[in-house]
A and B are shown apart, each in its own frame.
Chain A
Amino acid sequence: MTAADTHRAILAVWRIEQPRLITSLARMLRDVALAEDLTQDALLAAIETWPATGIPEKPGAWLLAIVRRRAVDQLRRGKMLERKHAMVAHDMEAEQRAMPDPDSGLDDDIGDEMLRLVFTACHPLLSREARTALALRMICGLTTDEIARAFLVPAATIAQRIVRAKRTLSESGLTYETPRGTELSQRLSSVLEVVYLIFNEGYTAARGSDWLRPQLCNEALRMGRVLTAIAPYEPEVHGLVALMELNASRTAARTDAAGEPILMLEQDRALWDQLQIRRGMRALARAHELGGARGFYVLQAAIVACHAEARAAAETDWLRIAGLYAELADVAPSPVVELNRAVAIGLAEGPAVALAIVDRLVRERALEGYHLLPGVRGDLLHKLGRFDEARAAFEAAAALAGNRREHDLLMRRAAKAAGAAASS
């Protein structure tokens, strides 16, 4: 093994053990930020020691012993300052004497501890960026460098975000506990938002050149699975997992050999990942069983499921999709949802009905500056044979499009409409 191989092997072991190290330390120290620091110390210790000694037979126990020793040192240093900590240190020393060689310690209660950790890392007190970075670091075990590369920002920025977030957590005097009842649902939405943000960051930007961005989708999926295992009765958790699995199932079909994006209706459905679709459908069914059919994520998953179930684009159940968008608009009103509903209605009931919805959105000026609105409008006008108006709409859309490729596509459609107008 080369030094680089050993380093990768150490990181792999550390990642498997890291959540348990943080959670058990956080419980002892009642301080997540400090627990995270000491866990990083354990990684450094492993990197210093293991290349010479080889990876120990029970790496988890080795790491746990290190972090516990560091925690005791840390507490002893602060003993004069705080009696409570001294008592904790005493307990821990006693515990260590009783268990000089902690076994690999496959705790039964890791679920509860993980849940607590997830809720702390995604605390609403922290900014979205901070929550995202902290979650990737504490729950997924990514290094600062990996997070920075994934988000295309300098490592120093991420490091600073993490330091600030941890300081906020330490100084807020936050109790390290799992919320219950209605507070749980409220706090859960902050967690789900982080997971979905991470997923989308990887999914919408996946242009094939940087492998770490699809990796973000995998991290989000993993976090989603963690949540379904530790909060199994929350329908929205299953809904989000379903939404992510179903969207991710199309990954292989989303770009052509040159890395150009392929729109969903034109994708080769044979490339859709059936294992992932099955997992998504199962998660969606579970969300429905739990009574969550009208959840924000569950509804979006149900829409994507309609596509996943259609063996060909022409078999898509647009009427059902339009109905689901209507429900979604009811639960979480948004002009973007309304625009999507219009597209579905256009395909289910014809362009005239859809155009009425789109024109209402134009009048309400809710989506001013959003290129997809004139883009959809142009498409509907074109289908209705109103080519001059369609051309104007496509040109307006092209002027608003931020992305070069989209701009070109819209200009091509404008030219096509102009051609149709000339020959009609």
Chain B
Amino acid sequence: MRFMSFITSAQSDPPTPELMDAMNKLANREIKAGRMIDSGGLMPLDAGARVHIADGKLSVVDGPFVEAKEVIGGYAIFEFRNKEEAVASAVEFMQLHKDLMPGWEGICEVRALADFSGA
């Protein structure tokens, strides 16, 4: 089963060097274990735009977005056997944040990708 996880936070401080190092090691391990199949970071909000439809009107708003409270910083696509494995991996990832960047708050959301193959 494929899962996409993305990390969201209201804080925009860059990770501490210790956290960065630990995350790199973890990502490296996950790649070597064949579980992480893709990942990437996202540029700041001012590098993007939003395309809205409201009241039948379509509009384009360039970033940054003043109302944006939470920012998605990056994503990863994994292949896990089941949801439990996906959760265990996200917990491990977030534990690094808890240990190495005290005071940081955020969410790691894990979503199963739709799969029509029955596999």
- Which chain B residue has the least Cβ–Cβ distance from A103? B99
Instruction: Choose, from A42-50, A209-217, A346-354, A406-414, the stretch at the interface.
Output: A209-217
Q: Answer yes or no: A279 CB below 8 A from chain B CBs.
A: yes
Are A224 and B34 in touch, CB under 8 angstroms?
Answer: yes
Q: Answer yes or no: B71 CB below 8 A from chain A CBs.
A: no
Are B117 and A251 in touch, CB under 8 angstroms?
Answer: yes
Are B22 and A230 in touch, CB under 8 angstroms?
Answer: no
- B15-29 vs A, Cβ < 8 Å mask (1 yes, 0 no): 000000010011011
Q: Answer yes or no: A252 CB below 8 A from chain B CBs.
A: yes
Contact of A214 among B37, B87, B116, B117 (CB under 8 A): B117
**Interface size of A in residues (CB-CB distance below 8 Å):** 42
Are A106 and B32 in touch, CB under 8 angstroms?
Answer: no
Max chain A C-beta neighbours (<10 A), residue from B28, B32, B35, B116: B32
Q: A231 to nearest B CB, angstroms?
A: 11
- Which chain B residue has the least Cβ–Cβ distance from A13? B88
Beta-carbon contacts under 8 Å, A360-394 to B:
none
Q: Answer yes or no: A221 CB below 8 A from chain B CBs.
A: yes
Q: A234 to nearest B CB, angstroms?
A: 15
**Interface size of B in residues (CB-CB distance below 8 Å):** 26
Are B119 and A223 in touch, CB under 8 angstroms?
Answer: no
- B83-109 vs A, Cβ < 8 Å mask (1 yes, 0 no): 011011100100100000000000000
Are B31 and A12 in touch, CB under 8 angstroms?
Answer: no
Are B119 and A251 in touch, CB under 8 angstroms?
Answer: yes
- B62-100 vs A, Cβ < 8 Å mask (1 yes, 0 no): 000000000000000001011011011100100100000
- A55-70 vs B, Cβ < 8 Å mask (1 yes, 0 no): 0011110000000000
Are B118 and A106 in touch, CB under 8 angstroms?
Answer: no
Q: Answer yes or no: B60 CB below 8 A from chain A CBs.
A: no
Are A279 and B37 in touch, CB under 8 angstroms?
Answer: yes
Give chain A residues whose Cβ lies under 8 Å from the Cβ of B81.
Answer: 12, 15, 215, 218
- A1-38 vs B, Cβ < 8 Å mask (1 yes, 0 no): 00001001101110110011000000000000000000
Give chain B residues whose Cβ lies under 8 Å from the Cβ of A58.
Answer: 95
Max chain A C-beta neighbours (<10 A), residue from B25, B34, B81, B95: B34
Contact of B92 among A16, A214, A215 (CB under 8 A): A16
Give chain B residues whose Cβ lies under 8 Å from the Cβ of A218.
Answer: 79, 81, 119
Q: Answer yes or no: B47 CB below 8 A from chain A CBs.
A: no
Give chain A residues whose Cβ lies under 8 Å from the Cβ of B92.
Answer: 16, 60, 104
Q: Answer yes or no: B33 CB below 8 A from chain A CBs.
A: yes
Give chain B residues whose Cβ lies under 8 Å from the Cβ of A60.
Answer: 92
Report the 9 A-B pairs with minimum CB-CB distance, sorted nearest first: A225-B34, A214-B119, A222-B34, A12-B84, A252-B117, A106-B25, A251-B117, A12-B85, A229-B32
Extra inter-chain contacts (4) besides given A12-B82, A16-B88, A252-B117, CB under 8 Å: A106-B26, A208-B118, A215-B81, A225-B37
